[in-house]
Amino acid sequence: MTNQAAERIQHEGLRSKIMSAEQAAEFIKNGMTVGISGFTGAGYPKAVPTAIAERAKAAHARGEEFAFGMITGASTAPECDGVLAEANCISFRNPFQSDPALRKSINAGNTAYQDMHLSHVEQQIRNGFYGEMQVAIIEATGITADGKIIPAMGIGHCNEVLKAAKHVIIEVNAKQNPLLETMHDVYFDIGTPPNRQPIPLVKPDDRIGTHYLECDLNKVVAIVLTDAFDRNSKFADPDENSKRIAAQIIDFFSHEVKAGRLPKNLLPLQSGVGNVANAVLAGLLDAPFNDLTGFTEVLQDGMLDLIIAGKMKSASATALSFSPDALQRFNDNIEFLRDKIVLRPMEITNNPELIRRLGVIGMNAMIEADIYGNVNSTHVMGTRMMNGIGGSGDFTRNAFYSFFVSPSVAKDGAISCIVPMVSHHDHTEHDVMFIVTEQGMADLRGKSPRQRAKLIIENCAHPDYRDMLRDYFDRAEKAGGLHTPHLLSEALSWHQRFVETGDMRVK
Amino acid sequence: MTNQAAERIQHEGLRSKIMSAEQAAEFIKNGMTVGISGFTGAGYPKAVPTAIAERAKAAHARGEEFAFGMITGASTAPECDGVLAEANCISFRNPFQSDPALRKSINAGNTAYQDMHLSHVEQQIRNGFYGEMQVAIIEATGITADGKIIPAMGIGHCNEVLKAAKHVIIEVNAKQNPLLETMHDVYFDIGTPPNRQPIPLVKPDDRIGTHYLECDLNKVVAIVLTDAFDRNSKFADPDENSKRIAAQIIDFFSHEVKAGRLPKNLLPLQSGVGNVANAVLAGLLDAPFNDLTGFTEVLQDGMLDLIIAGKMKSASATALSFSPDALQRFNDNIEFLRDKIVLRPMEITNNPELIRRLGVIGMNAMIEADIYGNVNSTHVMGTRMMNGIGGSGDFTRNAFYSFFVSPSVAKDGAISCIVPMVSHHDHTEHDVMFIVTEQGMADLRGKSPRQRAKLIIENCAHPDYRDMLRDYFDRAEKAGGLHTPHLLSEALSWHQRFVETGDMRVK
C-alpha cells in the first residue's frame, strides 16, 4: 500500500478492498445494468472501463456475448465511453453522451440510446424503471475514516447509484484536489411520492445536505487507485459571432433591469455546454452587473472566471468541466472558491421545482431553430444523434427567461440554422422565449406563430437565407395558411437538399 | 336593487357599483389588454362579453378600429369567446381556447393566438410580459360583507388578473351555488424571483391559502348581475374504444401496484379534457383501487363520480366542468363534496414543483403520435389550430407516469393517429412514457427510438396502417438509418396525402 493510498482512503476496512482495475472489472458480467459516474468529462472512472473493454474484447474473441447497460450522469470521455463503445459492449445507454465512438455505435443502432431529461434520471432509477442495477462504478477524491466518500469534480447521479446498485466499485483518483472536500452538498431526502416534502433551497448557494456520498460499506467490492486528469477539453476563444450573440443578450439584460423586470444582479444564470454559451458568460466579465449568481448544470471556464473576477458571488452546479488552463486557475484559487462553488446531485441542479422557484435565466446552444420557434438540440438532419438534450429541457421550460443561441449558419454557409421546420423537435414553440444569432435576437414572448416567423426571419436568419425563408413563409400563407402555415411537402426539403447536395442553398 | 343582489353582494359600497352589462362594457376600449375569467367552460363572464361585442360591431360599422388583447384562464364559451370572435374584436388571445368562432378567427390569422403552457400564464402577467393590463372581467358567486370575492366554478388566473388590472368588472352570477363558498383555496404568496419560497403543499387536499379572491376595492368599476348556467357540455358515453383504452391503463396500474412501484391507492391522478380521458376515470369506478386522489387541472364528470361513489377521497383542480347531469349530481351532493374538492389558482394546480413532488399520474388526449413517441396535441395536419396545449405539458413533463391516449384511427379510418412523423410537436420523445390506443399500449420507458418504433407500430397502430408503418420504418432504416431513422421526403407525406385525397391510406 502506498502512502498516497493511505492518505486518500482513511477507512481501514476499505483499504483491504484495493485491487487492480482488471480485478475490479471481473465484477461486470454480460447483461448487467451498471451505473457509472461522470458528468461532461468530469468525475468519470479512468481505469476500470478500459479493463472492462478488454474483458469484452476477449469474450467476443471467444465467441461469447458481453454487453451491458450503462447509466451515467452525462457525458464521460474517451477512456470511459470511448473504450467501451470501441469494444462494442454498451447494449443500452442513457441519459447523455458526447463521445465520437459511442455516437457512432448509437447511430449504427448497436447501442440503444435513450436521450432523456437529466432531472428524470435519479427518480427513474430509484423507482425501478431500469430494473435492478447490479454494479455502480464511481470516481472519488477520497474516503474518510468513517467510510464517507468525498466526491470528485462532479456528483451527477452518484448519490442514487450508490443506493441502487448491489455492488460498488470506487476509483480513488490522486489527481483530484483534496481541497474539493466540503465543496459538495449532497441532499439525501428527495424521497418518493406520495411522501415528498418541499426541497428547502431558496437561494442558489444554500447548503441543504452533507458534504459526502454514502453507501452501505458492505456493498463496496473494489477500490481502484488512479492518478489521471479529467477530460479537460479546451474551449475555443470567443469568435466574432459569439461576441455578437453575447452582446445582444447583455443588452437585453440591461433593458430589463432598467424596466424593473430584472434585479440589478439579474437572476441565477444557467449556461449550457459549449463554446457559444461559454462566450456569453465571458461577455459578462465586462458587463455592468455585479453580485451575479449561477444555478447551472455544468460550471465551465466562463462562470469560473466570473467568480475569480469577483463579478459572480456564488454558483451551484453538478459538475466542474474546465479546460486545462481553467483547471489550473481553479486549483490556484481553490481556497477562495470553495465556499463560492457548491456541487450538488443532478436531481437538485436540474429540478423543475428549484429552477422555477429561483427564476433561472436559461441559455442553451442549439443545432437549429425553425421560423415558428421550435428548437432542435440533438439531431443532425433529423436522423443523426449528436449528443443529447441533457438538461436543456429541464432549464428551458422552467426558466424565467429562456434563450437559445447559435451562429446563423454552419459549414461555411451551407447549413442555415434557421429553417422552415426543424428536422427534430427537442424544445417546442411553447417553451422557447428568445432566439439569438449573430444577426440579431427574436423576442417570441406573447407572439403568434405568424408573428414569430417574421421576427425570426428578419432578425435571426443569415442574409443568404432570408429570401428563401420569406418565400417559404409567403407561399405557405397563400397555399393554405392557418395558424401555423406550412407546406408539408417542402417543410423538410432544406435538410433533404443538404443530404443530397451538401448545401441547403438552391444553386 | 333586488333581494338577490343584496344577498349575493353583502358589501354596501360595492352594491352602488351595480350597473348593466352595456354600461360596464364602456370600460373596454380599443387596444386594451383585458384579463377575463373562465376555464374550460366554467366561471367565464356571461353578459359583459356580449355587450362588448355589440360595442365592437357598432364601432366597426362607424369605420373605427375596435379590438383588444384577451388573456383568459383557458377556454370559455359561445357567449364569451364566441360572440367576441364573431364581432372580430380579439386582436390577441392566450393561453387556450376551444370555441369554433374563435378557432376560425385564429386560423384565418385575424387573432394572434399564443398557445402556451398554463403554468406560465400568471407568472408572465405578473412580470409584465404582456405590458399593462387595463381591465379584468371576472365571474363570481358573491361578495362578502368585507368585500372579498367568492369565486365561481373555477379560479384559473383570477387571483393574478385582479392584482394586475387597473380596473375590475365583476359579474355576480345567481346561478352559481352559494355553497361553493369555502371550496376554494387561494394561495397568494407564490412571489417573484429571487424571493420565492417553497409552496407548502405536500398532499393533494392540503389547504394553504384563503377561501376568497381579493383586490383593491377602489379598482372595482362595475358589478353586473347575471343568472345563467356555465357551458356544461355533454360528454359522450364511453364507447368500446374508450373502454379498451381505460382497461389497459387500469391493468397497468394493477401490475405496478403488485410490483411495489405504486401505492395501493395509486398516486394523484390528472386527467385531460375530453371523452377518452373522462372514460379512463369512469373505468376506475369498477377497478380494485380505493382512497384515490386527484390533482388535476379540470375536474369533470368522471372524477366527480369517483368521489360520489366513495372511490376517490379528495381532488384538487382549478375548475369544475360538468355535463348538465353531472352539475345536478354536484349540486345534490355539494354538502358531501365541499370538503373533498378544493379549487385552486391554475398557477398552483399546474405548478411543476407540485406535480413533480406529488408524483402525479398524467393522462392526456392527443391528436396523433409518431412511431418515435412524439405527440401532437394541437394542430390538425400540421397547420390548423384545434384548441391548444393547455396544461398537458405542465403535467406530462413532471408526472411520475405520463400517458397519451387516442383511438388509433379517426374519420372512419381515413386518418391514422400513429404516423411516421407528427405534423406538429407539442410533447417530445423525451417526455412521453406511454402511448395507449384501443389496439394496445406501448411502454416507452428506457427505450431507444428504434425500439419505440417497433412497440408503437405493433402495439398501438390500427391494423389497416401497420404494414404502411413497418414499410416506412424498414425503408428509413435501410436508406440511412442512424439514431432516429426517417425519410425526410416522406416523413410528412401521410398528412399531405390526406390534405390532397381525404385519406392517409394509399389507394
Contacts of A113 in chain B (CB under 8 A): 448, 483
Quote the pLDDT of residue A232: 86
User: Is A478 annotated in some ligand binding site?
Assistant: no
Give the least confident one: A330-344, B143-157, B236-250, B411-425.
Answer: B236-250
Alpha-carbon span A264 to A404, nearest angstrom: 23
CA angle B378–A272–A199, rounded 5-degree value: 80
Choose the closest CB to A194 out of B92, B358, B477.
B358
Residues of chain A within CATH 3.40.1080.10 domain(s) are 1-226, 240-501
Query: Per residue in A10-34, pLDDT tens?
Result: 999 999 999 999 999 999 999 999 9
**Cβ B115–A429 below 8 Å, yes or no?**
yes
Quote the pLDDT of residue A2: 63
B384 touches chain A (CB under 8 A): yes
Nearest CA among A406, A403, A337, A400 for reference residue A367: A406
Contacts of B102 in chain A (CB under 8 A): none
**Cβ B488–A381 below 8 Å, yes or no?**
yes
B208 touches chain A (CB under 8 A): no
Alpha-carbon span A257 to B423, nearest angstrom: 39
Choose from A483, A486, A493, A494 for mutation: most chain B CBs within 10 A: A483
A110 touches chain B (CB under 8 A): no
**Cβ B357–A352 below 8 Å, yes or no?**
no
Give the least confident one: A235-249, B73-87, B349-363, B384-398.
Answer: A235-249
User: Contact at 8 Å (CB) between A170 and A138?
Assistant: yes
Query: Per residue in A65-104, pLDDT tens?
Result: 999 999 999 999 999 999 999 999 999 999 999 999 999 9
Choose from B400, B433, B483, B497 for mutation: most chain A CBs within 10 A: B483
What is the distance in angstroms between the Cα of A474 and the nearest Cα belonging to chain B?
A: 13
User: Is A422 annotated in some ligand binding site?
Assistant: no
Q: How confident is the model at residue A237 (pLDDT cuts 50, 70, 90)?
A: confident
Q: Is B14's pLDDT higher than 70?
A: yes
A-chain residue closest to B498, CA distance: A488
Contacts of A115 in chain B (CB under 8 A): 429-430
Cβ within 8 Å of residue A376, ≥6 positions away:
A366, A367, A368, A369, A422, A423, A424, A425, A426
User: Buried (b) or exposed (e) across A310-320, using 16+ Cβ within 10 A?
Assistant: ebbbbbbbbbb
Task: Look up residue A480 and give its DSSP letter.
Answer: T
Quote the pLDDT of residue B2: 63
Quote the pLDDT of residue A33: 98
Query: Per residue in B23-80, pLDDT tens?
Result: 999 999 999 999 999 999 999 999 999 999 999 999 999 999 999 999 999 999 999 9
Quote the pLDDT of residue B472: 98
Q: Is the ipTM of this complex over 0.85?
A: yes
Quote the pLDDT of residue B7: 86
Choose from B358, B472, B488 for mutation: most chain A CBs within 10 A: B488
Surface of A (56-95) touching B: CB under 8 A? 92, 94
**Cβ A430–B426 below 8 Å, yes or no?**
yes
State the average pLDDT for chain A.
Answer: 96
A263 touches chain B (CB under 8 A): yes
Mean per-residue pLDDT, B210-228: 97
Choose the closest CB to B424 out of A109, A128, A484.
A484
Alpha-carbon span A235 to B96, nearest angstrom: 43
What is the distance in angstroms between the Cα of A288 and the nearest Cα belonging to chain B?
A: 19
What is the distance in angstroms between the Cα of A282 and the nearest Cα belonging to chain B?
A: 23
What is the distance in angstroms between the Cα of B308 and the nearest Cα belonging to chain A?
A: 23
Numbered residues of the known binding site of B for CoA: 272-276, 367, 387, 391, 411
> Residue B249 belongs to what H/E stretch?
helix B240-258
Quote the pLDDT of residue B273: 82
B454 touches chain A (CB under 8 A): no
User: Is A276 annotated in some ligand binding site?
Assistant: yes
DSSP secondary structure string, A422-476? Answer: -SS-SB-TTT--EEEETTEEEE-TT--HHHHHHHHHHHTS-HHHHHHHHHHHHHH
Quote the pLDDT of residue A38: 97
Query: Per residue in B401-460, pLDDT tens?
Result: 999 999 999 999 999 999 999 999 999 999 999 999 999 999 999 999 999 999 999 999
Quote the pLDDT of residue A359: 97
Quote the pLDDT of residue A90: 98
B252 touches chain A (CB under 8 A): no
- Prior bond to B407 cis, omega within 30? no
**Cβ A424–B484 below 8 Å, yes or no?**
yes
Taking the CA atoms of residue B358, residue B363, residue B367 and residue B369 in that order, the dihedral angle to the nearest 10 degrees is 80
Contacts of A193 in chain B (CB under 8 A): 267, 357-359, 400
Mean per-residue pLDDT, A287-311: 97
State how far the alpha carbon of A490 is from the alpha carbons of A422, A472, B490, B499, in Å: 12, 8, 10, 14
Class of domain B240-501: alpha beta
Contacts of A489 in chain B (CB under 8 A): 492-493, 496
Nearest CA among B158, B166, B175 for reference residue B231: B175
Q: How many CB atoms lie within 10 A of CB B7?
A: 11
Question: Which residue out of A297, A368, A429, A438 is catalytically annotated?
Answer: A297
Q: How confident is the model at residue A506 (pLDDT cuts 50, 70, 90)?
A: confident
B-chain residue closest to A385, CA distance: B483
**Cβ A92–B446 below 8 Å, yes or no?**
yes
Q: Is B1's pLDDT higher than 60?
A: no
Contacts of A295 in chain B (CB under 8 A): none
What is the distance in angstroms between the Cα of A424 and the nearest Cα belonging to chain B?
A: 9
Choose from A428, A447, A450, A497 for mutation: most chain B CBs within 10 A: A428
B428 touches chain A (CB under 8 A): yes
Query: Per residue in A38-74, pLDDT tens?
Result: 999 999 999 999 999 999 999 999 999 999 999 999 9
Alpha-carbon span A210 to B122, nearest angstrom: 36
> Among all chains, which residue has been given the C-alpha cell 428563401?
A468
**Cβ A488–B481 below 8 Å, yes or no?**
no
What is the distance in angstroms between the Cα of B250 and the nearest Cα belonging to chain A?
A: 18
What is the distance in angstroms between the Cα of A483 and the nearest Cα belonging to chain B?
A: 4
Choose the closest CB to A446 out of B130, B261, B398.
B130
Query: Per residue in B357-387, pLDDT tens?
Result: 999 999 999 999 999 999 999 999 999 999 9
Q: How confident is the model at residue A507 (pLDDT cuts 50, 70, 90)?
A: confident
Give the least confident one: A238-252, A266-280, B295-309, B384-398.
Answer: A266-280
Alpha-carbon span B230 to B38, nearest angstrom: 10
Choose the closest CB to A382 out of B352, B431, B488.
B488
- In angstroms and rounded to an integer, the radius of gyration of the C-alpha atoms of chain A is 23
Q: Residue A412: CA atoms inside 13 Å, Cβ hemisphere, count?
A: 2
B356 touches chain A (CB under 8 A): yes
Choose the closest CB to B379 out of A398, A484, A496.
A484
Task: Look up residue B220 and give its DSSP letter.
Answer: E
What is the distance in angstroms between the Cα of A126 and the nearest Cα belonging to chain B?
A: 10
The catalytic residues of B are: 297
**Cβ A117–B382 below 8 Å, yes or no?**
no
Question: Looking at the domain B1-226, which fold is it?
Answer: Glutaconate Coenzyme A-transferase (3.40.1080)
User: Contact at 8 Å (CB) between A422 and A376?
Assistant: yes
Query: Per residue in B286-316, pLDDT tens?
Result: 999 999 999 999 999 999 999 999 999 999 9
**Cβ B358–A193 below 8 Å, yes or no?**
yes
Choose the closest CB to B425 out of A124, A374, A450.
A374
B475 touches chain A (CB under 8 A): no
Contacts of A351 in chain B (CB under 8 A): 356
Q: How confident is the model at residue A380 (pLDDT cuts 50, 70, 90)?
A: very high
Choose from A196, A199, A488, A500 for mutation: most chain B CBs within 10 A: A488
Cβ within 8 Å of residue A152, ≥6 positions away:
A37, A42, A43, A139, A140, A141, A173, A176, A180, A230
Q: How confident is the model at residue B235 (pLDDT cuts 50, 70, 90)?
A: confident
